[in-house]
């Protein structure tokens, strides 16, 4: 089993913001696996898929970014899963826009959603897929930047990055090693 969680904010006004890259990427995962977010459980919208005989749970927490860990903790408990089964996809202000990086573990960095996940689960030893959002030409406070909408001229760049993040999550769910997936998608 794998649980793939995309971090973001549930309201329509946040749909095209930088902070919703995780939501967009798990939407791509669901589309690629031919499933839809049909139910709400564990403070998240959830889609279920079967991939090569493996159950895949795809989730978008509705707790808002800073409390994402509550939903993740509940999902792990409900599905009797461990951190080894978890893949988190989220935006990363510390990376250049449009880049994708996979890591087997690590700190939360500047990301409050990841701080919540680590605090609630009690571990940082789970796979994370980060979508870079930093635009070196923009100089506004982080909170204002992450909640702003992606510029029209950058939209395709982020659609592509979220698609790559989704493909990486699917590859990991198929049992490919983190190292192999990192080699293919990091950069």
In 52-166, the DSSP E strands lie at 54-61, 86-96, 100-103, 127-134
Q: Tell me which of 6, 7, 19, 22 is the catalytic residue.
A: 19
- What DSSP character marks residue 150? P
How far apart, in whole angstroms, are the C-alpha atoms of residue 104 and residue 184? 14
Active site residue 19: yes
State the virtual CA torsion across 79, 26, 46, 9 in degrees, nearest 10: 110
Q: Give me 54's structure tokens.
A: 């493996």
Angle between helices 112-121 and 68-78 (to 10 degrees): 40
Distance CA 29, CA 56 (A): 10
**Conformational region of residue 103, where left means phi above 0, alpha means psi within -120 to 50, and beta covers everything else:** beta
Residues 8 and 14: beta-carbon distance below 8 Å: yes
Phi then psi for residue 151, to 5 deg, are: -65, 145
Which residues does the annotation mark as catalytic? 19
């Amino acid at each position: 089993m794998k649980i793939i969680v995309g971090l973001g904010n549930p309201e329509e006004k946040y749909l095209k913001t930088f902070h919703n890259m995780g939501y967009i990427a798990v939407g791509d995962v669901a589309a690629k696996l031919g499933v839809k977010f049909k139910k709400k459980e564990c403070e998240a919208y959830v889609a279920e898929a079967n991939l090569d005989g493996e159950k895949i749970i795809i989730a978008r927490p509705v707790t808002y970014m800073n409390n994402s860990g509550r939903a993740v903790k509940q999902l792990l408990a409900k599905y009797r899963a461990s951190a080894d089964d978890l893949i988190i996809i989220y935006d990363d202000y510390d990376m250049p826009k449009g880049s994708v990086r996979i890591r087997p573990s690590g700190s939360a960095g500047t990301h409050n959603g990841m701080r919540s996940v680590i605090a609630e689960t009690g571990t940082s030893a789970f796979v994370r897929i980060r979508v870079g959002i930093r635009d070196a030409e923009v100089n506004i406070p982080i909170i204002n930047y992450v909640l702003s909408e992606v510029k029209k001229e950058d939209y395709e760049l982020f659609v592509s990055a979220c698609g790559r993040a989704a493909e990486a999550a699917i590859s990991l769910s198929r049992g490919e090693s983190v190292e192999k997936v990192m080699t293919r998608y990091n950069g």
